[in-house]
Amino acid sequence: MSDDLLAQLKEMSTVVADTGDIETIRRYSPQDATTNPSLILQAAQQEGWRSRLADIARQSTDIDDALDAVAVEIGSEIAGLVPGYVSTEISARLSFDADASLARGRSLIERYARHGITSDRILIKVAATWEGIRAARQLEREGIRTNLTLLFSFAQAQACADAGVTLVSPFVGRILDWHKAQAPDTDFSGDKDPGVRSVRRIYEHFKGHGYRTIVMGASFRNIGEIQSLAGCDRLTISPALLGELSETHGRLERRLMPIDAETSAPEPQDEAEFRWAMNEDAMATEKLAEGIRKFTADQRKLEKLLGELRQDVSQAN
């Protein structure tokens, strides 16, 4: 076996590429790939996509139609390169609208079907708000698998497990960012990293209570965080950190071990309990809101790009 860290990590955890860049996915051969509005925007700005985006803009009925068409176009190409899941995110603007999130999730699956991609290959990414989790619960009941993102708290993770979602993506690096801003002189290295500790708590709780929801660490700031979570179900990793792992050699120690369920699951949270827990967690509340705003800002940039392409096509005709 190779002694580079990426090869060893693949023996312990399912490695997922956190990118929409096709060449990166070809290079590192991940099992799955995740996208979000920011990553779709990055991919769409690459020169090789411009003519295809122009075609999509010309054929779309409106900007929302174009946005989903772009996400599915990129996702379908990625699906031809990875054997596992491709995660595609619904609009961040729908984070507090369960019915609209449901409709958008169903629509994305229908679009993938027209590309020949079956629903078992796709994870619909939804922000882990109360409304997003309710929408995900219904999608799962309909056989549509979901990935709950922008997850910063144990309360969010518990609600997702209660809802029976396929996968959760707790954000390691953004949790660390918040704590470093609050206490810049504190040592958060290694096992003291609050993002790492959050994922470990979620992993051990899910496994110890027999939840089937997959835990996928996300939003890493350095390979040390990844090494500290070796053995987690899945880890979604940016191109830069995939490259660093592949170029770093040494022994990788498994840090998260398989756990047999010992106790039954606790009673599900109700809405009031969930909202109170979030209110009591300043970090989770602030980072969730910030994440939704950032994804929406990048979505607006993509909308502007597609709008310009629609206008160019219209003028050319």
Residue 125: active-site member: yes
**Are 82 and 74 within 8 A, CB to CB?**
no
Catalytic one among 10, 125, 207, 287?
125
Burial, 204: exposed, middle or buried (Cβ in 10 Å; 0-12, 13-18, 19+)?
middle
**Whole-angstrom distance, CA of residue 241 vs CA of residue 159:** 30
User: Which of these, 165, 152, 258, lies nearest to 204 by C-alpha position?
Assistant: 258
Nearest to 198 by CA among 180, 221, 222, 215: 215
Nearest partner of 87 among 27, 6, 163, 18, judged by Cα: 18
A 10 A CB-CB count for 222 gives: 15
Which pairing describes strands 14-18 and 146-151: parallel, antiparallel, or unpaired?
unpaired
250: its two tokens: 């040494």
Contact 124, 110 (CB under 8 A): no
d(CA 36, CA 219): 12
User: How far is the C-alpha of 222 from the C-alpha of 237, rounded, in Å?
Assistant: 10
Residues serving a catalytic function are: 125
